[in-house]
A and B are shown apart, each in its own frame.
Chain A
Amino acid sequence: MQNIGIEQISLAVGFILLLIGIWGMLSQKNILKIIVSFTIFETGLNVILVVIGYIRNKTAPILDTTELQTNTAEKIVDPIPQALVLTSIVIGLGVTALLLVYALKMHKEKKSLLINDYKDTKW
C-alpha cells in the first residue's frame, strides 16, 4: 500500500472521469447532457494535468515563507502543470460556453434538444 498515494488515486479518478465523459458523450441523446459529459471529460483531463505536476510531500510553489526560498526546487511541486491547467480550464470554459450557445441556437431552429434530430447534412 506504500505505493498507492494521493497521486495514483487522483490519476485513476482523472481517467475514470475522462472515460465517463466520453461514455456520456457517446450514449446521451440530449444535447445538454452531451455538453455536461464534455465538461466531465474536461475535468478529468484537468485532474490528470494537476497530478502530473504533483510530487509527494512537496508543497505548493508559493514562496511566501523564508524557509521555502532556499533550495526551492527540492521543496515544491512542479508549477508548470498548474499553470497549464489554468489555461486549460479557461479554454474549457470558452468551449463549453460556445457549445451552450450552439445548443441554444439548435433549440431555436427545431425546438428539440435531441441530437438525433440534427442529421440534415449527411453522406
Chain B
Amino acid sequence: MVDPIYIVAVLLGISFSLGFIGKKSENIAGILSLLALGFTTLVSAQWFYNFVTADIETYHIFTTAFKPPFSINLMMGKEEALFTMMINAIGLFGGLYMFDRLKAAGKNSFIALLMLIMGLNVVVMTRDLFNLFVFLEISSIAVAGLIVLTQNTKSISAGFKFMIATGIISGLLLLGIAFIYNYAGSLNIDHILTQNLEAAKGLSIAIFFLMIAIVLEMKPFPANGWGLDVYSSAESGVSSLLSSAYATATVFVLMKLLPFAPENLQFLIAAIGIITFVFSNLMGMRQDNPNRMLGYSSISQIGLLAAVIGISSVIGEYTYFIVISILISHFLAKSGLFWIAGIVKQESIKNWSVLRSNKLLLVLFGVFIFALTGLPPFPGFFGKWELVMHLAETKNFIWIFAVLIGSFFEVVYMFRWLGYAVKNDIIIETKLKAKIHQIIPLLLFAAAAFGAGYYVSSEHPYASLINYLPLAVALGFAFIEFLPVFIKNTLAIAAMAAYFYFNYESYNELQVIFAAIFIIGGILTLIAGYAYKGKRQGFYPFALMMFAGLIGLVEATTTLEFFFAWELMTIGSYFLILRGKKSIKHALSYILFSIGGAYLILAGFGLAAIGKPDISIGILSNIELYAPWIFGLLAIGFMTKTASIGLHIWLPGAHAEAEADVSPMVSAILLKAGVFGLIMLFLAMGEQFIGNISFAYILSWVGVITALMGNMMAAFQEDAKRLLAYSSIGALGYVLFGLSLMSHLGWLTAISFSVTHFMFKALLFLAIGGVVWRLKTKDMYKMGGLIKKMPFSFISVLIGIIVLAGVPPLTGFAGKWLFFQAVVEKQWFLQGAVLFFSGIIAFLYCFRLIHSIFLGQPKDEHRNVKEAPFWILVPQYAILMVIMLFSMLPNSLLKPIGDMLMPYFPDGAITWDGQMATTALGYWNGKTVMFIVVGVFAIVFGWLVFMNRNAKKVKQFNIGYAAERPFLPETTHYAFNFFAPYKKAIGFLVAPGITNFWHRVDEGAHSVSDKFTKIYNGNAQSYLIHIVAFILVIYLISFGGF
C-alpha cells in the first residue's frame, strides 16, 4: 500500500510546482491538481478498503529519527482512512465541479484548494497538538483564499469576518496547547493521555481552552455568525468544501481530542451541540436564500454530531456508527445541494421552479434533500434510528425530544424548498444547463448516497433484515421513465400482482386482509392509470414506492422494518400528492404531519425497546416501563395518518387536489396504513390507562368527534373532491371508534368497515375523478344534469353512496348493523347517539353528490361532455362486483375477519348459519334483506315508471334571472351553499378552529425563528463579541461562577 505520507507529499509537491508553471497554463495547473487529488483519494480509499476487508493494523508514520513524543507522528487507522477519503474525495470532485471557476481565477486558486485539502488531511492524521494547530491555520488561510473566488462586497466582508474570527479562535487554541505543554511536558496526544489530566487545575483550564477552540471551529450557536456569512456569500463550491471537508475534519478532531475532556466538559460540549442543532434549524426556517439556508443546516448537522460525540460515554460503542452514518449523509447531501445551488444561481428559494427545466438536476436535488433529512434508504436514517434507540435505552428523554424537534424544523424548510422546486408556479424562462464537469460529481455523490445507505444498513444487525426488493423495483422504474404510460402501467401492475401472488401464503389473516387492501386495491386504482396518455413522468417510481412502503408495514417483523416502511410510504405518497394542482401547501402540510407522526412513532419504538434484547414487533406486547407513554406516542403517530380530528388538516387539500387516480390511492388505501398501525398497537398492548381513564375511552371520543366533524364539514363543501376527502375523515373516525370498543363486534366492524371504506371511497373518488376529468372543474355548482351524459359514472356514485350511507341492502348496512350492536353491547350510548347523528349528516352530503352533479338541468357548456374515460370506469365496475358479492354473501367478508379475531376477542362473536348472522342482540340475513329490499325497490321503481308516462317534458330554459346581473355567478345556482339553513344552525361547529390553531403554531415558530436570526447583524465585531461572550459563559459554567 502507498504510504499515507505521500498524501501530504504529493499535495505539497504539486502545489509548489504549480508556482513554476507559466501564467497562461491554468489548464495544466488544474489537471495536475485534480490528478494529485485523485491520487490522494485513491491512497486513502485503498487504506480504508484494506481496513474494512483485511482488518489490518493501524499504521504510524514517524517523521524524524526520533520516536514520539520527541517527534511529530501521523497515524492512519480505519477512521483516519475513512475521513481522509471523504476529504480527498470532496477535494477532487469539488475541484472538478469548480474547474472553470478556479481556472478563471488563475492557478493560485488551485494551490489554495490543494493546500486546504492537504491541511485537512494532516489535521485528521496528526497525533501532535501543535501540528494540529499549524495545519488548521493552513486550512483556514486556504479557505480565506478560496472565499474571494467571487469578489463582491458580500464575499469579501464575509471573508474578513471569517479571518478575524478564526484568528481569535486559533489564538485560543494555541494558548490552550501552550499551557498543556507547560503542564504535561508533551505535545503528543497519546503521550499526554497517559498522564493524569485532572491533577492540576491549570491543566484543566488549558484543556478547556483547547476543547472550546475546537468547538468554536464547529460554529456553535450563537457564536457562528461568521460561518453563516461565509456560507451565504461564498461561491457554492467553496461553501461545499467548507461544509463537507472542513467541518468533517473538525468533527474528527473533536473525536480525537475528546478523551482530554473531563466528563462534565464532554456533556457541556454535547449540550452546546444539541442547542446548536435545535436553534440553527429553527432559524433555518425563515431563510429564503438557499446558500444561507444550507449554511444553517450545515451548522445544525455538525452541532448534532458534536452532541453525539459529547455523549459518547453514554451511548457507548455505537457512537461511531451513529456519527459516521449521520456524517456521511450530511457530507454527500450538503455538497450536492451546494453544488446544485451553484448551478441554479437563484437568490430566493421561491424561484427554484427553474430547476424543472432540467429533470436530472431536479431528481438529484430530491435525492439529496432526502439524504439530508435522514429518510430511508440513506445512511442518516439508520444513524437517527440508532441515536434515538440509544438515547431511549439510557433514558435521555429530553435529548430525544431535542433531536426530533430539531430534525423536524429541518424537514420544514427542506421540504418547503423541494416543494417550490417541484411545483412553484413562478416561471423563469431560462433553461438550466449544467456542464458535464458539474454533473459528474453530482451523479457520483447521489449514487454514493444510495451505496452508503446500503452499506450502513448491511453493517447494522437489524437493518440488514430489511427487504429491499420492493424499493429496488420502485427505483428501477425511475430508469424506464422514457417508456409510455401503457407499458409502465402494465409493468407496475404485473410487479405488484406477482409480489402478492408469491408472498400471500406466508401472511397471517390480518396481514392478508391489509395486504389485499394495499396491493389488490393498488392494482385496481392503477388500472385507471391507463386513461393517461404520454409518459406520465415521475408517477410510477413514487406510486410503487408508496406501495412498497405499505407492503413493508404488513410484512415488518421488527420495529425498524416497520419504521423504514412507514417512512418509505410517506415519501412515495408525498410525491403523489405533490403532483396535484395547487398542491405545494397541501403536500407540505402532509409531509410535516407525516414526519411529525413518524417521529412520535420513532420515539415510541425507542421507549418500547428499553431493556429488551431485540427490536422485534413482539416487544410491544411485553412492555413493563412507560407503557402509557409508548401507547400514546404510537397512537398519536398512527392517527396522523388516519387524520383523526386535530391532526386532519392536511387531508382535505391533499386528497382533493390530487389526480383522478391518486385521490383513491391516498384516500382509500393510504389511510389504512394508520388503521393497520393502530390495530397492531391495540393487539400488542391491549388497554392502557392514564390514571383511571382508559386510552380506549379517550380514543372512542376522538373517533366519535372525528366522525361528526368530518361529516359536517363534508356537507358544507362546494368542491366534490373535498367533500369526499372530508367524508374520509369521518369514515376513519368510525374505524377509530370501532377499534376503541375493544370487543369482538367493535373490531369486526372496524376491520370490515376498513375494507368497505376502501371499496366505496375508491369507487366514489374514481367516479367523481372521471367527472372532473371531463368537466375540468371540481365545483358542484358548476355541474348538474350529467345523468344522461355519464350514466355509468352515475351508477357508480349511486351504489357508492348507498354503501357509504349504510342503507340496506348493500354491504354498508352490514357495517352499520354490527356497529350499533357493538355500541349497545359496550353500553356507550352517548357516543352511539353522536355517531347516529353523524350518520344522518352523511345522508346530507351523499344526497348532494347525486343531486347536484347528476340530477337537475345540464349546463350549457356541458352539452358535449362524454362519459368518463373507459379505463377509469373499469376499476369502478370491478369494485362494484365485489360490493355486490359481499352484499349478497356478507359472511364471505365477515367470517374470515371474525375467525381472525377469535384468539384476541373470543367473546361476543357472531354465529353464522349460511348467510344468517346471529349475535347476542339479534339476527340478520344478508341474502334475505337483499331480496326484500330489491323487491320493494322494484315495485316502487315500476310504479314510478308507470306514472311517469303522463308527465310532460319541459325544455331547458332559464328566465329566473333575466335582466339581473349577479356578481357571483355561482350564487344563482341552486346547488351553491346547498345546506344554507343547516349551516346557519350548526355552521359555527365547523369554523376552522383547528386549522387556525395550526396556522398560529406555524406563524409562531417562524416569528421566533425570525427573532433569533436578528442576533446575526452582519457586523464583524458583533460576531467577535458573540465568540468572547460564548467563551466566558462556557468557562463560568464549567468552572463555577454560575
Among A38, A94, A119, which residue has the most Cβ atoms of chain B within 10 A?
Answer: A119
The verdict on B229 contacting chain A, using a C-beta distance below 8 Å, is yes
Complex: chain A residue closest to B1022, CB-CB: A119
Contact of A121 among B137, B157, B168 (CB under 8 A): B157
Residues of A with C-beta under 8 A to B229 = 121-122
Contact of B164 among A18, A25, A29, A87 (CB under 8 A): A25
Complex: chain A residue closest to B225, CB-CB: A122
The verdict on B51 contacting chain A, using a C-beta distance below 8 Å, is no
The verdict on B163 contacting chain A, using a C-beta distance below 8 Å, is yes
- Decide yes or no: A102 and B153 within 8 Å by CB, A38-B164, A122-B1016 being known contacts: no
A110 CB to nearest B CB, Å = 6
Contact of B153 among A52, A84, A99, A110 (CB under 8 A): A110
Q: Mark A1-42, 1 if CB is under 8 A from B, else 0.
A: 000000000000000001000100110010100100010011
Complex: chain B residue closest to A118, CB-CB: B157
The verdict on A67 contacting chain B, using a C-beta distance below 8 Å, is no
Q: Mark A59-101, 1 if CB is under 8 A from B, else 0.
A: 0000000000000000000001100100110010011001100
Complex: chain B residue closest to A52, CB-CB: B182
CB within 8 Å of A: which B444-482 residues: none
Q: Is the interface of B mostly helix, strand, loop or mixed?
A: helix
Whether B179 lies near A84 (C-beta < 8 A) is no
Whether B1024 lies near A26 (C-beta < 8 A) is yes
Whether A120 lies near B153 (C-beta < 8 A) is yes
Whether A102 lies near B167 (C-beta < 8 A) is no
Q: List 21 A-B contacts (CB under 8 A).
A: A18-B175, A31-B160, A38-B167, A41-B168, A45-B171, A45-B174, A49-B174, A49-B178, A80-B187, A99-B160, A99-B163, A102-B148, A105-B148, A109-B156, A119-B1018, A120-B154, A120-B157, A121-B232, A121-B233, A122-B229, A123-B1018
The complex places the Cα of A116 from the Cα of B1022 at a distance, in Å, of 10
The complex places the Cα of A88 from the Cα of B177 at a distance, in Å, of 12
Q: Mark B268-298, 1 if CB is under 8 A from A, else 0.
A: 0000000000000000001000001000000
A67 CB to nearest B CB, Å = 24
- In the complex, besides A22-B1028, A31-B160, 13 extra interface pairs with C-beta distance below 8 angstroms are A25-B168, A26-B1025, A42-B167, A45-B171, A87-B130, A99-B164, A102-B159, A102-B160, A109-B156, A115-B1019, A121-B157, A121-B229, A123-B286
Complex: chain B residue closest to A109, CB-CB: B153
Contact of A87 among B134, B228, B1013 (CB under 8 A): B134
A49 CB to nearest B CB, Å = 5
Chain B interface, number of residues (Cβ within 8 angstroms): 45
Whether A95 lies near B1018 (C-beta < 8 A) is no
Complex: chain B residue closest to A102, CB-CB: B160
Residues of B with C-beta under 8 A to A116 = 1019
The verdict on B77 contacting chain A, using a C-beta distance below 8 Å, is no
B232 CB to nearest A CB, Å = 5
The verdict on B25 contacting chain A, using a C-beta distance below 8 Å, is no
B1011 CB to nearest A CB, Å = 11
Residues of A with C-beta under 8 A to B144 = 98, 102
Residues of A with C-beta under 8 A to B632 = none
Whether B168 lies near A22 (C-beta < 8 A) is yes
Residues of A with C-beta under 8 A to B1028 = 22, 26
The complex places the Cα of A110 from the Cα of B1018 at a distance, in Å, of 16
Contact of B1020 among A41, A88, A118 (CB under 8 A): A118
Residues of A with C-beta under 8 A to B976 = none
Complex: chain B residue closest to A37, CB-CB: B164
The complex places the Cα of A45 from the Cα of B1024 at a distance, in Å, of 18
Q: Is the interface of A mostly helix, strand, loop or mixed?
A: helix
Residues of B with C-beta under 8 A to A122 = 229, 1016-1018
Residues of B with C-beta under 8 A to A95 = 137, 141, 163, 167
Whether B157 lies near A106 (C-beta < 8 A) is yes
Contact of B1024 among A25, A31, A84 (CB under 8 A): A25
B192 CB to nearest A CB, Å = 14
Residues of A with C-beta under 8 A to B908 = none
Complex: chain A residue closest to B228, CB-CB: A121
Q: Mark B31-48, 1 if CB is under 8 A from A, else 0.
A: 000000000000000000
What residues of chain B have their CB less than 8 Å away from a CB belonging to chain A? 130, 134, 137, 141, 144-145, 148, 151-154, 156-160, 163-164, 167-168, 171, 174-175, 178-179, 181-182, 187, 228-229, 232-233, 286, 292, 1013-1014, 1016-1021, 1024-1025, 1028
The complex places the Cα of A116 from the Cα of B157 at a distance, in Å, of 11
Residues of B with C-beta under 8 A to A80 = 181, 187
Residues of B with C-beta under 8 A to A99 = 160, 163-164, 167
The complex places the Cα of A120 from the Cα of B182 at a distance, in Å, of 43
Residues of A with C-beta under 8 A to B1025 = 26
Whether B171 lies near A34 (C-beta < 8 A) is no
Whether B159 lies near A123 (C-beta < 8 A) is no
Whether B1016 lies near A94 (C-beta < 8 A) is no
Whether B182 lies near A103 (C-beta < 8 A) is no
Whether B179 lies near A52 (C-beta < 8 A) is yes
Residues of B with C-beta under 8 A to A52 = 178-179, 181-182
Chain A interface, number of residues (Cβ within 8 angstroms): 38
Whether B156 lies near A26 (C-beta < 8 A) is no
- Decide yes or no: A94 and B141 within 8 Å by CB, A52-B181, A115-B1020, A121-B232 being known contacts: yes
Whether A91 lies near B134 (C-beta < 8 A) is yes
The complex places the Cα of A11 from the Cα of B993 at a distance, in Å, of 67
Whether B1016 lies near A106 (C-beta < 8 A) is no
Closest 7 CB pairs of A and B: A122-B1018, A119-B1018, A118-B157, A123-B1013, A121-B229, A102-B160, A109-B153
The complex places the Cα of A88 from the Cα of B129 at a distance, in Å, of 13
Whether B178 lies near A41 (C-beta < 8 A) is no
Whether A103 lies near B233 (C-beta < 8 A) is no
Complex: chain A residue closest to B70, CB-CB: A80
Complex: chain A residue closest to B152, CB-CB: A109
Complex: chain B residue closest to A25, CB-CB: B1024
The complex places the Cα of A23 from the Cα of B617 at a distance, in Å, of 61
B119 CB to nearest A CB, Å = 12
The complex places the Cα of A34 from the Cα of B187 at a distance, in Å, of 32
The complex places the Cα of A99 from the Cα of B140 at a distance, in Å, of 12
B979 CB to nearest A CB, Å = 49
The complex places the Cα of A88 from the Cα of B136 at a distance, in Å, of 12
Residues of B with C-beta under 8 A to A121 = 154, 157-158, 228-229, 232-233, 292, 1018
Residues of A with C-beta under 8 A to B174 = 45, 49, 88
Contact of B145 among A31, A45, A98 (CB under 8 A): A98
Residues of B with C-beta under 8 A to A22 = 168, 1028
The complex places the Cα of A91 from the Cα of B1028 at a distance, in Å, of 22
The complex places the Cα of A55 from the Cα of B175 at a distance, in Å, of 19
Contact of A119 among B130, B141, B1019 (CB under 8 A): B1019
The complex places the Cα of A103 from the Cα of B157 at a distance, in Å, of 9
Residues of A with C-beta under 8 A to B1013 = 123
Residues of A with C-beta under 8 A to B1020 = 34, 115, 118
The complex places the Cα of A10 from the Cα of B148 at a distance, in Å, of 39
Residues of B with C-beta under 8 A to A118 = 153, 157, 160, 1018-1020
Residues of A with C-beta under 8 A to B1017 = 119, 122-123
The complex places the Cα of A21 from the Cα of B130 at a distance, in Å, of 22
The complex places the Cα of A115 from the Cα of B156 at a distance, in Å, of 12
Complex: chain A residue closest to B156, CB-CB: A105
B239 CB to nearest A CB, Å = 12
The complex places the Cα of A120 from the Cα of B233 at a distance, in Å, of 10
Whether A106 lies near B1018 (C-beta < 8 A) is no
Whether A34 lies near B164 (C-beta < 8 A) is yes
Complex: chain B residue closest to A94, CB-CB: B141
Residues of A with C-beta under 8 A to B134 = 87, 91
Whether A102 lies near B171 (C-beta < 8 A) is no
Residues of A with C-beta under 8 A to B141 = 94-95, 98
The complex places the Cα of A48 from the Cα of B206 at a distance, in Å, of 13
Contact of A98 among B151, B163, B1021 (CB under 8 A): B163
Whether B153 lies near A115 (C-beta < 8 A) is no
Residues of B with C-beta under 8 A to A38 = 164, 167
B414 CB to nearest A CB, Å = 19
Whether A106 lies near B152 (C-beta < 8 A) is no
- Decide yes or no: A45 and B175 within 8 Å by CB, A84-B130, A120-B1018 being known contacts: yes
